[in-house]
Chain A
């Protein structure tokens, strides 16, 4: 077939093509639309130029002092340069702050290496990964708390980013396990198990996270005998796990319901018991279905760790608040918040990017 003959078979070219035509057709096709377009463009222009002026043009970096910053009228990055260690590591002893820094790097290495499906591909690699985590967590524990020649640092001094990351990562990993059990319990044929799970989920979902944190911090010590002393970081951690497990359980239940009955029948017919059926057949399918909503919860959970501020623990947001209290830099806070916002945004965006990547990967693998 000649090119001309081939082109003759295609639908006729639309006479309206090109960027300008598109803009005209979609943004200026009526008086009100044209007006809206112009207003939006003006807002975008103002915000963008304002932000650039504040963050870059009028901004001052060290060695500028407080006065020079204020006179320039822009962001005072010198403030962040002076305070970044306080914001990142909070009240952790200044000279030992390389320890939480190293611990954070270790966490990132562990998490990133577990994120590649290739790390899970064979039994041997799974064992390696598991071993790596055990050793890694041990090293992190020593780095944070001391021992093996490192000075002892009390848990109440752990703060800033390490605290946020710890609350979030330990919380979410435990949460997944607790919520799987809750979701299975809610679908159990044993009445007592089912009712306990339903009651738990409904009660926790009906209570705000803040009140749960207060309960864990203030009520729990009153209820327990005096000699039982649980550090408040652990109490907050438990409150988080309890809270998010209830939500996650409902998400996982949705995933379980989406797995066809035939899958249960096929597993059962093969002689698999309840737990084998769940672990090898049902949960892997249910969890894949729930990836988007799980990541949604992970992101919410990561940010909600900042609520520990109400029980006077200094997470990343708490240390940012502490930084702005310094009289030398009095009145500056936007820079500190911008700094932690970038950290939060980086972590949350990576999580959501990773979830989309893994979804695409699963879809591609099962369809080729």
Chain B
């Protein structure tokens, strides 16, 4: 396990969110420490993605508080905007910018948001792209890449902002099965370098390998938040976790 610092870098306190009458997040409490890797899983519609989106302010919440690095995430105070510079996000659908080349995708954030000079931003981007073995495609456009390659670029793009935390929203769900491995490898590499990560995924092998804690959500609630050894131990785990694991294993 990596070193885990004492104060939480992310902290959710009694967070609740409604879509109209639909209660999508119910009283969520979670502390994530620097260097910690959290895997969030649960059936679809359980609020996992919404919770992750709330952490970097892409989704508003109505009750409770979310702190990132000790600062409350609030759109009204403008803090959400500043915090997003330090929180990287990887989406299920990659969401690369189709009108920009791979290299430009990786440089636009650092250049426009952080004001880094082009040469510097490009050097950094090439470094990240080399690490995920896509440097040779830096001048190509996203549409010409496979899904797995696009997702690896999306991870690079987030990393080029030098974030303190990385959020992954089902990063392999939209991929063809043969491409899942290459993306998970990149994420495993990242976890080994000590990045703080919150990953929404159903990849249980990956979860076993990197997770410090597994959080299971159901109907907007966190019903379990335990280390993987305990999560996967059928003798000890919550029966609802057991039922969920049975479901995804047999899928």
Contacts and interface: CB of A to CB of B under 8 A. Distances in A.
B89 interface: yes
Interface in A252-311: 260, 262-263, 265-273, 276, 280-281, 284-285, 288
A89 to B, nearest CB: 42
Interface stretch (B93-101, B186-194, B241-249): B93-101
A312 interface: no
Interface residues of B, number: 28
A288 B91 contact: no
B112 A272 contact: yes
Contact of B97 (A266, A269, A273, A365): A266
B109 A263 contact: no
Contacts of A266: 89, 91, 95-97
Nearest to B111: A280
Q: Which of B58, B112, B141, B144: most chain A CB closer than 10 A?
A: B112
B230 to A, nearest CB: 32
B164 interface: no
A14 interface: no
A367 B144 contact: yes
A368 B144 contact: yes
A320 to B, nearest CB: 43
B72 interface: no
A366 interface: yes
Contact of A262 (B56, B88, B95, B141): B95
Interface string B132-161: 000000001101100000000000011001
B113 interface: yes
B95 A263 contact: yes
B147 to A, nearest CB: 14
A263 B158 CA distance: 14
B91 A276 contact: no
Given A285-B99, A366-B99, A271 B113 contact: yes
B26 interface: no
A367 B91 contact: no
A180 B50 CA distance: 32
Contacts of A268: 58, 84
A266 B95 CA distance: 6
Interface string A345-368: 000000000000000000001111
Contacts of B200: none
B108 interface: yes
Interface in B116-144: 140-141, 143-144
18 contacts: A260-B93, A260-B95, A269-B58, A269-B84, A269-B88, A269-B91, A270-B85, A270-B109, A271-B82, A276-B112, A276-B113, A280-B108, A281-B108, A285-B98, A285-B99, A365-B141, A366-B144, A367-B141
A-B complex: 9 closest residue pairs judged by Cβ atoms: A271-B85, A266-B95, A269-B89, A262-B95, A270-B109, A271-B84, A271-B113, A366-B141, A284-B99
Interface of A: 260, 262-263, 265-273, 276, 280-281, 284-285, 288, 365-368
